[in-house]
Amino acid sequence: MIEDKVYAARSILVVGAHAFDAEVIAGPLAAAAVKRGASVTFLHLTMGEQGHPCLIPAHYCAQKEEEAGRAAERLGVTVRNLGLHDAFLPADDGTALKVCDVIRELKPEVVITHWHGSWHKDHRAAAHLTQTGIFYAALPTIARDHTAHTPGLLLFGENWEDDDGFKPEHLVDVSDGFDAWSEAVHEYELARGLSSFPYVDYYSALYRLRGCLRGTRHAQAFAAASHSWNAGSGLFAPPPGGGRGR
């Protein structure tokens, strides 16, 4: 069961296009996983600095860095920022290698990112970069600062901007992470009324809806990578028990 694999993980990496994306696609899950002893890292590819109607991007970037740090403390996660540019997130090999480096360093068993079916170009780029980063991280022939690593599970979180073709295949109980998430997202001005979209209302209701279907108080929905992706991503992993069999 996907839920069992997630909560058995010692290390989880959540890759978001902008600060606040990781919090909504996996925030309650992250808080619940931390309570179970996991180390969870949010990798913000950009800070989403273009999204303020009044502040210039540099000032909003600094504000969101502070907000992301406070939100991370409430969730119990570690936060990283690649410092790339909002609205211009490149889906190229050089950027994918930066994601690869984080994956190799942290060696997560579970990676969570955006679903690729999105009207937002940065979200589509984040999905591509994460999958390509995992591919590069697995290749032992690519020399980087850290050794090769293959995560055991790749999941795609539910985001209102990424709904094209998304299917809620797996519902994960996040009931004991919801309260921490609710406090964490309110650290962002974006959640306190900056946007015309009612983020907190939407996601609070969504997690409750998924919980009703899961049979718990709250749940989050995820899509999984295809069977061929799972098979392909494991091609370069060492065989169970060490060396090759004879």
pLDDT class of 245 with cuts at 50, 70, 90: very low
Q: Is the pLDDT of residue 227 over 70?
A: yes
In a domain, 204, yes or no: yes
Classify strands 78-84 and 39-46 as parallel, antiparallel or unpaired. parallel
Confidence at residue 231, expressed as pLDDT on a 0 to 100 scale: 73
pLDDT class of 73 with cuts at 50, 70, 90: very high
The residue-averaged pLDDT of 56-84 equals 98
Whole-number Å distance between alpha carbons of 246 and 244: 7
Confidence at residue 244, expressed as pLDDT on a 0 to 100 scale: 43
pLDDT class of 226 with cuts at 50, 70, 90: confident
Q: How many residues does the chain have?
A: 246
In a domain, 242, yes or no: no
Strand order in the sheet with 170-173: 78-84, 39-46, 11-18, 110-114, 153-157, 219-224, 170-173
Confidence at residue 83, expressed as pLDDT on a 0 to 100 scale: 96
User: Which CATH number characterizes residue 66's domain?
Assistant: 3.40.50.10320
Token duo for residue 156: 């795609």
Task: Tell me the pLDDT tens digit for each residue of 196-217.
Answer: 899 999 999 999 999 999 999 9
Q: Which residues pair with 84 in a beta bridge?
A: 46
Q: How many domains does the chain have?
A: 1
pLDDT class of 158 with cuts at 50, 70, 90: very high
In a domain, 211, yes or no: yes
Token duo for residue 128: 């591509």
DSSP 189-211: GGGGTTSSS-HHHHHHHHHHHHH
pLDDT class of 85 with cuts at 50, 70, 90: very high
Lowest mean per-residue pLDDT among 41-45, 192-196, 207-211, 225-229: 225-229
In a domain, 93, yes or no: yes
In a domain, 244, yes or no: no
Token duo for residue 229: 């992706």
The region, left, alpha or beta by phi > 0 then psi within -120 to 50, assigned to residue 216 is beta
In a domain, 240, yes or no: no
pLDDT class of 246 with cuts at 50, 70, 90: very low
Q: Is the pLDDT of residue 66 over 80?
A: yes
Confidence at residue 234, expressed as pLDDT on a 0 to 100 scale: 64
Q: Is the pLDDT of residue 179 over 80?
A: yes
Token duo for residue 53: 């109607």
DSSP state of 163: -
pLDDT class of 57 with cuts at 50, 70, 90: very high
The pTM (predicted TM-score) of the whole model is 0.94
Confidence at residue 239, expressed as pLDDT on a 0 to 100 scale: 63
Question: Which has more confidence, 243 or 145?
Answer: 145
- Tell me the longest C-alpha to C-alpha distance in the chain: 66
User: How high is the mean pLDDT of the chain?
Assistant: 94
Classify strands 39-46 and 11-18 as parallel, antiparallel or unpaired. parallel
199: containing domain: 2-233
Phi, psi of 43 (to 5 degrees): -105, 105
Question: Which has more confidence, 236 or 31?
Answer: 31
In a domain, 67, yes or no: yes
- Say how many C-beta atoms besides its own lie within 10 A of residue 33's C-beta: 28
Tally DSSP H helices, then E strands, for the chain.
8, 7
> Which positions ≥6 away from 215 have C-beta within 8 Å?
none
In a domain, 25, yes or no: yes
Confidence at residue 230, expressed as pLDDT on a 0 to 100 scale: 72
